[in-house]
Structure 1
C-alpha cells in the first residue's frame, strides 16, 4: 500500500514538473557563483504573469558551468522520488518526460512547482492547464529548497545545458 502511494506521489510530481504543452519560454540566464556566459541567448519574455509561478522563488541564480555536486544530488533525488513517474527523455511514463523542461519553464517556476506543488496547481494557470491535459495531480514531496535546486541542476544537465 505504501509503495502504491509512493508511486502515485512520484508520478504526480513528474506530471506537475513537466508541461505537456509546447510553451516556448526560455529561462532567463543568471548566475549563482560565476559570471553569466556571454554566449547565452537573451531571456525570452514570459507569455504570461505566471512565468515564475506561485511561491517564494522569484530569482533563482543559475551556475555556469553546471555544478557537478548539485547534479549528483539531483540525480539521487530523481532516482528516489521522481523516476517512478518521470523519464529524463521526452517519453511519458505516468507523468510527462522531462526533456526540454528547462526550455519551457523558468527556473523559478520549476522550483516553485517542486516546493509549492499544491498552491501551484491551485493558482498557477500553466500548472492548471498541464493538470487538465495530464489528468494526474502531482503530490507534494516535501522537498527542501536545496533538493529542489539540485533537481533543477540535474534537469539542466539532462537538457544539455552547460
Structure 2
C-alpha cells in the first residue's frame, strides 16, 4: 500500500513537472507594439491658474462689478452650506482653502463645481486631481443656480480684499 502511494505521488509530481516545463517553453515572439494616442496636456497643479470651464451647465458666465448685495447673500449661503469643509483663507480644512480661488479658476469652473461636484470629479481633470489630493469628495449641497452665483460673488469679494 505504501509503495503504491509513493508511486502515485511520484507519477503525479513527475506529470506536474512535465506540464510546468512544457508550459514554460512558450514561443519567444512578442506582440507588436501598439502606438498610443498622444495625451492632451492637462494642468495637474491644483494651485496653478487654469482657464478650464469645467464640465456642467455653466459654459459662458459674464462678470461685472462685484454685487455687494449678492455677496452678502452668498456669505450667508457659504456659512450654512460650505464652512463645514472650506475656509475663505488659504488654510486647508476638510476641503481646500478658497482664498484666491476666483483668480485661479474661471467663474464657469467654480459654478460647475459648486452645483454638480459629482460630475466635475468624474469628468474634469483638475477636479479629479483635487479629489486625489484631498481624498474627500466635495459633497453635493443641492445649491441652486442663484445660491451658486451669490457664493461666487462672495468669493470674488473675498479675493478683492
- Determine if the TM-score, normalized by the shorter chain, exceeds 0.5: yes
Map of 1:58 onto structure 2: 59
TM norm structure 1: 0.69
Where do residues 63-82 of structure 1 align in structure 2 (5 Å cutoff)?
A: 63-64=64-65, 66-82=66-82
Higher relative contact order by CA 8 Å / sep ≥ 6: 1 or 2?
1
Greater helix content: 2
Instruction: Give 4+ residue runs of structure 1 displaced > 6 Å after superposition.
Output: none
Q: Number of aligned residue pairs: give it.
A: 118
Distance 1:84 1:55 in 2: 24
Equivalence for 2:135: 135
Counterparts of 1:6-155 in structure 2, within 5 Å, are 21-25=46-50, 46=51, 51-64=52-65, 66-155=66-155
TM-score (norm 2): 0.70
Q: Over residues 16-41 of structure 1, what are the superposed CA-to-partner deviations in whole Å (9 max), with x where a residue is unaligned? A: xxx9822123xxxxxxxxxxxxxxxx
What is the Cα-based RMSD across aligned positions, in Å? 1.6
Q: Structure 1, unaligned stretches of length 5 or more?
A: 1-18, 26-45
CA separation in 1, counterparts of 2:139 and 2:109?
A: 16
* 2: CA distance, partners of 1:86 / 1:129: 17
Which has the larger Rg? 2
Unaligned 5+ runs, structure 2? 1-43
What is the CA–CA distance in structure 2 between the aligned matches of 1:116 and 1:63, rounded to whole Å?
24
CA deviations over 1:122-141 (Å, ceiling 9, x no partner) = 01000000100111101111
